[in-house]
Amino acid sequence: MNFQIKILLVAFGVALLLGIIILPILRKLKVSQQERAEGPKSHLNKKGTPTMGGIISIIAITLLSLGVMLIYYKNKQVDVIKGIIPLLFATLGFGIVGFIDDFKKMILKNTEGLKPSYKMLGLLVIAVCFVLYLLNVLNIGTDIYIPIVKTFVNIPVWIYIPFAIIVMLATTNAVNLTDGIDGLATSVTTIIIACLTVIGVIFNIREVIIFGTIVCGCNLAFLIFNLHPAKVFMGDTGSLMLGGVIAGMALVLKMPLLLILIALIPVIETLSVMIQVTYYKKTGKRIFKMTPIHHHFELSGWSENKIVTVFSLLTLVLCVVGLNII
């Protein structure tokens, strides 16, 4: 436990220092997103705020993960290193796809960014490699934990592989949609990752404990820059990266089904978009004032801080419930 606390504090300090260094660089490069005219009027004030801030967490997570792996290598604990590698791979892989998308939009001023087909292909390749690593290197098997009944169910590998890939892609997309107001995605994902880390402690999955602690420390530091009024946005660099972290940890724990509960906020954000689009195509009318659903509450008069607080508290409650049904 003392080692975990040290990792948390070091991760926080490293990410905070990197934020102080990198933020002025992003400002100098004028890496800022354009707010949509049809969006909430309050968002027009955000024009000029740097994005691509997820690079801060990616660098910090990478440095700390490599440092921890070096420690375990010296102690000849190779199994832990083998467990951290896929989690770091998913984090870096999804983060790099998001970075390329942000880079094309913000630096190269290509409004389209990375073509959706290329973006999906990149995420798909990373997800496939991750899942194959779990099966062929970590040999974790194809068991899935069923909450409430508290048992593992073995599913055929030909079902497990596409299922796990869908979990990774869906989670990444859901977190990306949640990143719409200051501090929301950072706050919600930190709580979810902390919950998965606690589950790692319960089941003594050391790579999950270590990696989750690192990411939580980095996220808490990034939150200082990202809370309203945000000094920097995470961009797709950060949101895709965090989606990869959550999905990766859940799959290593064999608990992807638990995400339906503990990650309910990102799930609802996604469903709100799907419902809105489907209903509008059929009727020409909208159910929500705007989607993802956090924008609906914004246009209904909720402040950004209220939305972040309510969504975060709800996520915390759901995570507590989740911990009691495993």
Q: Splitting the chain (326 residues) into consecutive groups of 10 residues, what average pLDDT does each group show?
A: 88 97 91 62 72 95 97 92 97 97 86 89 98 96 94 96 98 96 97 98 96 98 95 95 98 98 98 96 93 94 96 98 95
Query: What phi and psi, each to the nearest 5 degrees, are found at residue 90?
Result: -65, -40
Q: Which residues contact 270 (CB under 8 A, 6 or more apart)?
A: 170, 173, 174, 177, 292
Which pLDDT does position 108 carry in this prediction? 82
Which pLDDT does position 40 carry in this prediction? 66
Which pLDDT does position 37 carry in this prediction? 53
Rounded alpha-carbon distances, angstroms, from residue 144 to 152, 156, 251: 5, 11, 9
Query: What phi and psi, each to the nearest 5 degrees, are found at residue 143?
Result: -75, 140
CB 195 within 8 A of CB 319: yes
Q: Provide the terminal-to-terminal Cα distance of the chain, rounded to the nearest Å.
A: 22
Which pLDDT does position 45 carry in this prediction? 67
Domain count, the chain: 1
Which pLDDT does position 107 carry in this prediction? 82
pTM: 0.95
Range of the domain at 238: 2-324
- Cα–Cα distance, 271 to 277 (Å, whole number): 10
Which pLDDT does position 1 carry in this prediction? 63
Which pLDDT does position 105 carry in this prediction? 87
Q: Give yes or no for a cis peptide into 256 (omega within 30° of 0).
A: no
